[in-house]
Amino acid sequence: EVQLVESGGGLVQPGGSLRLSCGASGFTFSSYEMTWVRQAPGKGLEWVSFIGSGGTPIYYPDSVKGRFTISRDNAKNSLYLQMNSLRAEDTAVYYCARRVLGAFDIWGQGTMVTVSS
Amino acid sequence: EIVLTQSPGTLSLSPGERATLSCRTTQSVTNSNFGWYQHKPGQAPRLLMYGASRRATGIPDRFSGSGSGTDFTLTINELEPEDFAVYYCQHYWTFGQGTKVEIK
């Protein structure tokens, strides 16, 4: 079964850091581009990072550039998101998603990140 | 930056009716990077359409996508109870703000 499973979410204070992980199974992870997408409470979907199948290219929106770092370990079938200098507005459910043919075809169930003192 | 604007914000319909959702972009875009998603509370988003008009694996044929340039449409024929959800359009990294299809 093709599957993505996120982990690493939780409660963190403003200015703190958190590292999210996404484990992939059921497909050749190293062949696919991957992304992180988030949904803040009561809001829509917002893309937060992209990484090519081999680790490049990497893209971020301005809202997280310089604070978030996406990476992957193809040997471990894993995707990561290092989040630093977290703000209240980063509170959201974070999804990892596989990108193919210009769309995000497989999504994980999401992991909740809450930034609050 | 291309902005995607979806309309209406909320669509109130009864099961069996047809839903027509619109997504307009601020610049002409290529169909190849255009998609539609269904999202229900507590679940992962689900890809419905890619390439603007191609159904993703396992998507029923009551879902159809059309459009080009700056105007795109998702049509759901004969709404089933499980179709009531929020729908998002997407181009590259950008999502629209969503259209909620609710039971009338």
Confidence grade of residue B66 (pLDDT, cut at 50, 70, 90): very high
| Interface residue of A5, A60, A101 to substitute, partner B, most B CBs within 10 Å | A101
Helix (DSSP H) and strand (DSSP E) numbers for chain A = 0, 11
Name the interface residues of A facing B (CB cutoff 8 Å). Answer: 35, 37, 44-47, 50, 59, 61, 95, 97, 101-105, 107-110
Structure confidence at residue B20 (pLDDT): 98
Chain B residues touching A103 at Cβ < 8 A: 33, 35, 47, 49-51, 56, 90
Structure confidence at residue A1 (pLDDT): 95
- The rounded mean pLDDT for chain A is 97
C-alpha to C-alpha distance for A62 and B26, rounded to whole angstroms:
19
What does the pLDDT look like over B19-41, one tens digit per residue?
999 999 999 999 999 999 999 99
What does the pLDDT look like over A19-43, one tens digit per residue?
999 999 999 999 999 999 999 999 9
Structure confidence at residue A101 (pLDDT): 92
Q: What is the pLDDT along chain A (117 residues), one digit of tens a residue?
A: 999 999 999 999 999 999 999 999 999 999 999 999 999 999 999 999 999 999 999 999 999 999 999 999 999 999 999 999 999 999 999 999 999 999 999 999 999 999 999
% of chain B surpassing 70 pLDDT: 100
C-alpha to C-alpha distance for B59 and A17, rounded to whole angstroms:
39
C-alpha to C-alpha distance for A30 and B51, rounded to whole angstroms:
23
- The answer to whether residue B92 neighbours chain A at the CB level (below 8 Å) is yes
C-alpha to C-alpha distance for B77 and A86, rounded to whole angstroms:
43
Structure confidence at residue B60 (pLDDT): 97
Structure confidence at residue B3 (pLDDT): 96
